[in-house]
Amino acid sequence: MMPEIKQYIRLVKEIVLSSERPLRYYVDTYGCQQNESDSEILRGLAEEMGYLPADDTVDADLIVVNTCAVREHAEQRIFGNVGAMSHIKKKNPDLVILMAGCMMSEPHVRDRVKKSFPYVSGTLDTNSTDRMPEILYAILSDRKRRFYFDEDRNILEATEGLPRVRTNGIKAWLPIMKGCNNFCSYCIVPYVRGREQSRAASDVLREAREIIDAGHKEITLLGQNVNSYQGIEGGFPALLREVNKIPGDFRIRFMTSHPKDAGEELFRAISECEKVSAALHLPFQSGSDRILREMNRGYTADQYKRKIELARRYTPDLAITSDVIVGFPGETEEDYQMTEDLVREIGFVSLFTFIFSPREGTKAARIHDDTPESVIKDRFLRLVAVQDAISKESHASRIGMLETVLYDGFSRDKDALSSRTDDGRLVIVKQDPSCIGSFGKVKITGSTTWSLIGEPMDE
Ligand code: SAM
Ligand code: SF4
Ligand code: F3S
């Protein structure tokens, strides 16, 4: 940890511990696993400064809203929820509300926070996560608002070794890189997360060992495009093999892979490493070559299909999941049909379907499109229906199979446990809660569109 951070932690801690009652923090996280991972650092720093965790925002003296900018809907929801926090601030005028994360890297969003959310005390962009103690000390000292923004900073270096509070004791996120260089024409991530940087393999492996020693049973290696990881000779497949060598009973997952960079070495590593799950999340975004070109994705639909074929040659049962966007500007019914055809042809286990959302500053946001919203909504619903039928069939085909699952909590109805197969499928099992956090064998006895039902096997 950098000496100046230590200094600010100490100064804030003095203020926090001199309070008449214990002060509490709450980190409200939106967006992807990268943000979940950053929130672990925000929690770690808050606890180092003497704050205790709060169960809810209403009980907190420090609220950090870790934001996501990927779609307009996400931004609106966050502004709505921050708007509702004005009531908490009225009841507790000493409350400090900070906004952090991807939205805070957008200048127009910071301006909006400055003007329209006067009870938000400060902002930290994605390059200034580690400066939370500094901003808090400044705010607590004179109660003036602060808006931190660091354009050119090595945030990987700045956050290396910072304390983390992981709230899930079974599954752990492990960031291996930051940023993205791909500039897909619709995507805000390269603008708000900056250029790609890989973490040194030695740091990744040290943290992986710590995670396993702490009792976690699953590690997910994180990056916007893990296939361009540069922290070790041999790239990401070599890193997978090194993590796989760590002794212990645990699973390895990773996300996200980019079709232009995922190749034979990756598929070979998945099939040869016994701890690496037989699962691959490989977003395709569109089945139309014209749209893929406009999206700047760097592959054709046919190249995507051939990659999947190759991956399945190494791991025939590989569970493939994906992301797709409908309603990209200029998408015709013919383009949409090509997407639907690709979905039918591949047979994804599940698919995240998004409606295109124009993001200020991206290339695609400048493309004029007069396709009515109703047409796009209709394509979205058709694609969801096609995939639901495929998912249902895919899950039904597992009935009768024996699976090793990791019990990770209670089912939604709380009357059973939820668990995951090696390839990532959700299995609901009537099982003793003492099994949460351990592996077990189950027989698949039923299925729905999104999950499986299993019975424990005597071992
Ligand atoms: N890096 C990953 C990749 O390349 O697939 C995922 C990045 S993004 C956080 C997750 C998904 O959000 C993308 O795969 C894409 O389908 C979707 N997405 C990104 N920008 C979008 C936009 N402007 N409108 C709708 N969906 C978007
Ligand atoms: Fe966005 Fe494309 Fe980078 Fe993924 S690879 S984060 S979709 S720019
Ligand atoms: Fe959102 Fe930022 Fe992730 S924009 S999807 S939280 S990288």
The answer to whether residue 61 scores a pLDDT higher than 90 is yes
**pLDDT at residue number 2:** 81
State the residue for tokens 């910071």: 110
**Where exactly does CATH 2.40.50.140 map onto the chain?**
402-456
Q: What is the pLDDT of residues 234-243, one digit of tens each?
A: 999 999 999 9
Cβ 31 under 6 angstroms from ligand 3: yes
Among residues 212, 166, 200, 206, which one has the least CA distance to residue 38? 166
Query: From the CA of 270, how far away is ligand 2's center (Å)?
Result: 23
**pLDDT at residue number 1:** 76
Q: Averaged over 247-274, what is the pLDDT?
A: 97
Instruction: Tell me the best of 30, 32, 71, 197 to mutate to test the pocket of ligand 3, counting ligand atoms within 8 Å of each CB and taking the most.
Output: 32
| CA separation for the pair 188, 185 (Å, rounded) | 9
Query: From the CA of 36, how far away is ligand 3's center (Å)?
Result: 10
pTM: predicted TM-score of the whole model, two decimal places: 0.96
Q: Averaged over 139-159, what is the pLDDT?
A: 91
Cβ 69 under 6 angstroms from ligand 3: yes
Q: Is 294 helix (H, G, I), strand (E, B) or coil?
A: helix
The answer to whether residue 350 scores a pLDDT higher than 70 is yes
Nearest CA to ligand 1 atom 20: 187
Sign (positive or negative) of CA dihedral 389, 391, 395, 397: positive
- Integer angstrom CA distances of residue 334 from 370, 372, 375, 394: 16, 16, 13, 27
Nearest ligand 2 atom to alpha carbon 190: 8
Q: Is 440 helix (H, G, I), strand (E, B) or coil?
A: strand
Cβ 225 under 6 angstroms from ligand 1: yes
Among residues 184, 363, 202, 332, which one has the least CA distance to residue 259? 184
Backbone angles phi, psi at 242, to 5 degrees: -70, -45
Buried b (16+ CB within 10 A) or exposed e, 219-237: bbbbbbbbbbbebbeebbb
The answer to whether residue 271 scores a pLDDT higher than 80 is yes
**pLDDT at residue number 150:** 87
The answer to whether residue 223 scores a pLDDT higher than 80 is yes
State the residue for tokens 């609106």: 76
Q: DSSP alpha helices (H): ranges in 161-234?
A: 189-193, 201-213
**pLDDT at residue number 459:** 63
> What does CATH list as the number for 402-456?
2.40.50.140
Cβ 193 under 6 angstroms from ligand 1: no
Nearest CA to ligand 3 atom 7: 189
**Where exactly does CATH 3.40.50.12160 map onto the chain?**
3-155
Q: Averaged over 35-40, what is the pLDDT?
A: 97
Sequence-distant (≥ 6) Cβ neighbours of residue 158 within 8 angstroms: 2, 129, 130
Cβ 175 under 6 angstroms from ligand 3: no
Q: Averaged over 371-391, what is the pLDDT?
A: 98
**pLDDT at residue number 225:** 95
Cβ 100 under 6 angstroms from ligand 3: no
Q: From 3.40.50.12160, 3.40.250.10, 3.40.50.150, 3.90.1300.10, which CATH number describes the 3-155 domain?
A: 3.40.50.12160
Q: Is 152 helix (H, G, I), strand (E, B) or coil?
A: coil
Instruction: Tell me the best of 225, 281, 291, 363 to mutate to test the pocket of ligand 2, counting ligand atoms within 8 Å of each CB and taking the most.
Output: 225
Cβ 189 under 6 angstroms from ligand 3: yes
Query: From the CA of 187, how far away is ligand 1's center (Å)?
Result: 6
Sequence-distant (≥ 6) Cβ neighbours of residue 48 within 8 angstroms: 9, 13, 133, 163
Q: Averaged over 251-269, what is the pLDDT?
A: 97
Nearest ligand 2 atom to alpha carbon 297: 2
| CA separation for the pair 392, 447 (Å, rounded) | 8
| CA separation for the pair 63, 75 (Å, rounded) | 18
Nearest CA to ligand 1 atom 19: 187
| CA separation for the pair 181, 299 (Å, rounded) | 16
Average pLDDT over the chain, rounded to an integer:
96
**pLDDT at residue number 382:** 98
Q: Averaged over 289-298, what is the pLDDT?
A: 98
Model confidence band, residue 317 (pLDDT cutoffs 50, 70, 90): very high
Q: Which residues pair with 123 in a beta bridge?
A: 99, 147
Q: Averaged over 157-181, what is the pLDDT?
A: 95
Backbone angles phi, psi at 278, to 5 degrees: -85, 60
The answer to whether residue 420 scores a pLDDT higher than 70 is yes
Ligand 2 pocket by Cβ (under 6 Å): 180, 182-184, 187, 189-190, 224-225, 258
Query: From the CA of 227, how far away is ligand 3's center (Å)?
Result: 18
Q: Averaged over 261-272, what is the pLDDT?
A: 97
Computed on alpha carbons and rounded to an integer, the radius of gyration of the chain in Å comes to 23
226 alpha carbon, closest ligand: 1
Q: Averaged over 43-67, what is the pLDDT?
A: 98
